[in-house]
Chain A
Amino acid sequence: MQINKIKTDISEMLSEVFDGATIMVGGFGEAGSPIELLHGLIDNGAKDLTIIANNAGNGKVGLGALIGQRQVKKVICSFARSAKGVTFPELYNNGEIELEVVPQGTLAERIRAAGSGIPAFYTATAVGTPLAIGKEEKVFKGKKYILEEALGADFAFVKADVSDRYGNLTFNKTARNFNPIMCMAAKQSLVQVKKIIEPNLTNPEHVITPGIFVQKVIKIENPIIETNAIEEGIIYP
Chain B
Amino acid sequence: MKNVSSDNLIRGWDRNIMASKIADDLPHSSYVNLGIGMPELVSQYIKEDREIIYHSENGLLGMGPTPNENEVDLDLINAGKKPVTILPGGSFCHHADSFSMIRGGHIDYCVLGAMEISINGDLANWSTGKGIPAVGGAMDLVAGAKNVFVMTQHLTKEGKPKLVKQCTLPLTGAGVVSRVYSDYAVLDITQKGFKIIELNEEISVEYLQTVTEGKVYQ
Contact = CB atoms under 8 A, between A and B. Distances in A.
A86 interface: no
Contact of B96 (A30, A108, A125): A108
28 contacts: A28-B58, A30-B81, A31-B77, A31-B81, A89-B132, A101-B133, A102-B135, A103-B135, A105-B57, A106-B139, A108-B95, A108-B98, A109-B103, A111-B96, A124-B143, A125-B139, A125-B143, A127-B174, A173-B73, A173-B76, A173-B92, A174-B58, A176-B92, A177-B95, A178-B94, A178-B95, A179-B94, A181-B96
Nearest to A28: B58
Interface residues of B, number: 41
B102 interface: yes
A123 interface: yes
A131 B140 CA distance: 12
B182 to A, nearest CB: 23
Contacts of B174: 127-129
Contact of A109 (B74, B99, B138): B99
A101 B94 contact: no
B58 A105 contact: no
Interface residues of A, number: 47
Nearest to A82: B81
B211 interface: no
Contact of A104 (B60, B93, B140, B172): B140
A130 B134 CA distance: 12
B65 interface: no
B71 interface: no
Interface of B: 56-60, 73-77, 81, 86, 92-96, 98-99, 102-103, 122, 127, 131-140, 143-144, 170-175
Contacts of B139: 103, 105-106, 125-126, 129, 131
A27 to B, nearest CB: 10
- Most interface-central of A30, A108, A130, A174 (chain B CB within 10 A): A174
Given A103-B135, A174-B59, A29 B81 contact: yes
Contacts of A131: 135, 139
Interface in A96-116: 99, 101-106, 108-109, 111-112
A28 B77 contact: yes
Contacts of B135: 78-79, 101-104, 131
A55 to B, nearest CB: 9
A79 B134 CA distance: 4
Contacts of B96: 108-109, 111-112, 181
Interface of A: 28-32, 54, 78-81, 88-89, 92, 99, 101-106, 108-109, 111-112, 123-131, 171-181, 208, 225, 227
B75 A172 contact: yes
A124 B103 contact: yes
Nearest to B105: A124
A106 B137 CA distance: 9
A32 B81 CA distance: 12
A123 B134 contact: no
Contacts of B99: 104-105, 108-109
A29 B56 CA distance: 14
B171 A130 contact: yes
Contact of B92 (A54, A174, A181): A174
Residue among A32, A54, A101 having the largest count of chain B Cβ atoms under 10 Å: A101
Contacts of A171: 92
Contacts of A128: 122, 171, 173-175
Nearest to A109: B96
B137 A124 contact: no
Contacts of B59: 28, 174, 176-177
A109 B102 CA distance: 12
B172 A129 contact: yes
A104 B122 contact: no
B144 A180 contact: no
Given A79-B134, A105-B137, A111-B96, A175 B170 contact: no
